[in-house]
Amino acid sequence: MANDKPPIPLENTPTVTTSDVTPSSKRLSFVGVDDNTVQGIPAMPGGSNVEGYSIYSNIKDGKVSIEHQIEINVVDLFDVKSNKEISLEEVLDGLRYVMEYRIKGGRFPNLDYDIMRRLADGLLLNMGAYEKKGRFRQKLSEEADVAFQLFGEFLLEVQEFRQAVGEKPVSDLRYALKLDVRCRSGSTEQEQQSAVALIAFLTTIYPQFSDWKELVKNDGQRNVQRCMREHADFVKAEKMPEMPGVILAPQALCFDRRIKRCLKMYRTSLETGLPSEAVPALREHYGRNILPQPPRTSVFMMLWTQFTDFMMLLLMAVAVLMAATEDYIPMAVLLIVVVLNAIIGFTQEYKAGKALDALTKLSVPKAQVLRDGQTSVIDSEELVPGDIVILEEGESVPADLRLAEVSQLEIIESILTGESVAVNKDPKEIRTLTRKLPLGDCKGNAFMSTVVAKGRGKGIVVRTGRLTEMGKISAAITGQGKVLTPVQRKLAMLGKTLVAFAIILCAIMAGILIAYKHPVGESLKIALSLAVSVIPEGLVAVVTVTMAMGVRRMATRKAIVRTLPAVETLGSVTFICSDKTGTLTEGKMGAAELWTSDGSSFGFTESTSLDPNKGDVTLKIDPSETPKVLGKTLHDVPAQMLVSLMVSSLCNNSSVVMESETGSNPTINVEVSDEGKNTEACPSAGEWKGIGDPTEVALVVAAQKAGFPKSYFQNLGYTRIFEQAFDSERKVMSVVYKAPLDGNNVQGDHYEFVLAKGAPEEILNRCVGYLPPIATGALSSPLDILKPSEMDPTMPVTEEFYDIVSEASGRMADNGLRVLGLSYKKVKVNGGGTPDESVGDGFDDINR
């Protein structure tokens, strides 16, 4: 955008230069330089260097890019108070970074006037925030000091910013700058020096502000004058005082930045990663890559809370009254109940805490990281922004990444979005005037705790710990205060009601007895005994024992309950109202139904269980009859079903493995007997894990439950020789396999065939034939239909068949199922022994 007004001529404006800062062993320092080395030290990749804790950068960029970044932060400066997802600290850090490495030193003295005008308004709006300091005094917040510093730096560096400030009424500046507050006794030396320097700039640059007293409240002018005497060196300063701390690239998703820009920002390289010597200083600045944890309760507090429940306090008060009336036996019984109740609650909470701590230590996520040009596996909590992380299929993303390189990368983000369908990733930047894109639109980012379903990639760590999306969710959860459960509220209400009733009853009884001339002491004793009898001493014990039983039952289902009342909370739920189905998704999918071209329909039991030994395949003959469980041998399975299972297994890049306690993934061995029966040697311990896209995992599990996993066909000599991956245009994945003509004779002649799966309409449009019902005994093996023999049982596709398939597909879709089509094709082999050119050509005449 063009400037609306000409810039103010500033012949006497101080020239700002970047001076060297001596590296300190205690903090990071940044030095603007023109060459690529400092004191003979080789530069880091991307134009940065490390000497102890000193890092520098020489980054040049275009005006449009700088204005774009500033405008994003300007928008957030006005939205930060109403939008809780935006942090003022984060916005100001972004502006500090732009100033330090892209503007300062006269690199860009002219920027868009309208952006600078709004930036001045935004900084003035946010530089007067207070934070409480003691009971009687307020102190300007750190964010207010940073905004003040940025105001002075932009005033020196950018002409259009000076022009915008010059148009402000002096009263607005007096109110926003709060120079009197910054110069009063008790202010930091940094605040006083910055205030004196800014006064010097304003009075030098602008004739209308030549009298500094007009910029200060009357009652604060004495303090300002004192500061100007004490810091006389800054009256003629040519730059703002250096702020303590570090100016590093702010943690942000960076979806709007090119990869080269991101690499320079975080001083890293895709080829070598960060140097190891820079990591400790970066970790000290950014913090560890750990999610916010709830405050830990000490053993003493854990025990103390057992006695602070209202009903427990009531029982202890009753015990004291019993002691006063000399009813020692009931008192002892009541105290035993109180102590046992506390022991049960304390023991459960203590054991649950230990179990959760043990699980946390066992499940420390790992990350494959590139440092010093070497790839290594480290704990994910050791990652820092700038690290280069390598993502492989099946791995969990260890931090928020800006993806730099991808190869068919798809990531399951159900833990964040609730959508079980994997998201295809693209590292291309997204130019937008916001830092808050919907997660589903951030194609160039990978988020912590999501899982790689397919492909591989390489990304730059841009956010860690509490600033990641998972960190924000964790902080929101841990920040919730404790809320009493329904039973706790009802017991407290019951206790208060009983106390009130007991007091009234005691007063009435004592009054009646005294009115009838009974001794006062004896009357009070009788009244207290009657009041105590109202309190149900055994109620607390009954409730505690009942909850403990619930905890034990949940423990048998691998659920750890830290506090007893939590059991009752879930038990009070009758309905869960959700705004979308994905909110409660497990990230798992299971095969619900298989319809084949002969009109048969098959179901799968325990389809979402990844254990191949659990569940069967059933033939749905009649809805009113019990489904027939099919056997798991070659001769028990119809030809159409076997071919479908083969496509599900082989036209697939996902897998299901057993994760042992050591983290190893053992191989599942499959042996094929002479009768065609296969047996799997499965480990008996550990947990099954799906690696890859959830839809493909569901197909793999379905084939395994039917008894025909991928390894079964591989043992028959089936070998993949070609793959055409799924894409959004074809909507079909296709693979070419070869198999020996003579059984298991791998060295003999082979034949080839194509397997494909994808959108039903796309598969159907490519089909020229289908498999009709085949008479029993017509084939020696259902797999013979793939061989290039004279016998071809397929029938041509007709309009009637189109309608039948469409009806079956529509019925499944109406039931909320995701529908896929499966198909195969015989491939002719040319003289060179390779498939003809039509194989990689879209498979236009696939047989079904």
Task: Give the integer Cα–Cα distance in Å for 823 and 648.
Answer: 10
Question: For tokens 């071809």, what's the residue?
Answer: 792
Residue 757 pairs in a beta bridge with 733, 822
- What are residue 399's phi and psi, to 5 degrees? -160, 175
Taking CA atoms, 33 is separated from 30, 49, 637, in Å, by 9, 11, 74
Which of 586, 592, 821, 571 lies closest to 701, judged by CA? 592
Task: Give the integer Cα–Cα distance in Å for 302 and 705.
Answer: 47
Contact 152, 165 (CB under 8 A): no
Which of 648, 657, 631, 653 lies closest to 593, judged by CA? 648
Task: Give the integer Cα–Cα distance in Å for 101 and 107.
Answer: 9
Residue 721 DSSP label? E
Task: Give the integer Cα–Cα distance in Å for 638 and 371.
Answer: 54
- Other beta carbons within 10 angstroms of residue 556's beta carbon come to 7
**Residue-wise DSSP of 402-459:** EEEEEEEEEEE-HHHH---SPEEP-------S-S---GGG-TTEE-TT-EEEEEEEEE
Task: Give the integer Cα–Cα distance in Å for 79 and 283.
Answer: 30
Which of 735, 733, 691, 696 lies closest to 392, judged by CA? 691
Q: Among 579, 622, 674, 814, which one carries the catalytic annotation?
A: 579
Q: What would you measure as the largest C-alpha separation in the chain, in angstroms? A: 124
Task: Give the integer Cα–Cα distance in Å for 158 and 241.
Answer: 18
Which of 172, 155, 165, 151 lies closest to 214, judged by CA? 172
Task: Give the integer Cα–Cα distance in Å for 614 and 340.
Answer: 43
Task: Give the integer Cα–Cα distance in Å for 88 and 96.
Answer: 12
- Other beta carbons within 10 angstroms of residue 787's beta carbon come to 14
Taking CA atoms, 414 is separated from 21, 217, 438, 606, 700, in Å, by 47, 56, 14, 21, 20
Active site residue 579: yes
**Residue-wise DSSP of 159-184:** HHHHHHHHTS-HHHHHHHH-HHHHHS
Identify the H or E element spanning 757. Answer: strand 750-758
Structure tokens at 421: 């369908």
Which of 114, 121, 196, 104 lies closest to 156, judged by CA? 104
Structure tokens at 162: 């000076």
Residues belonging to the active site: 579
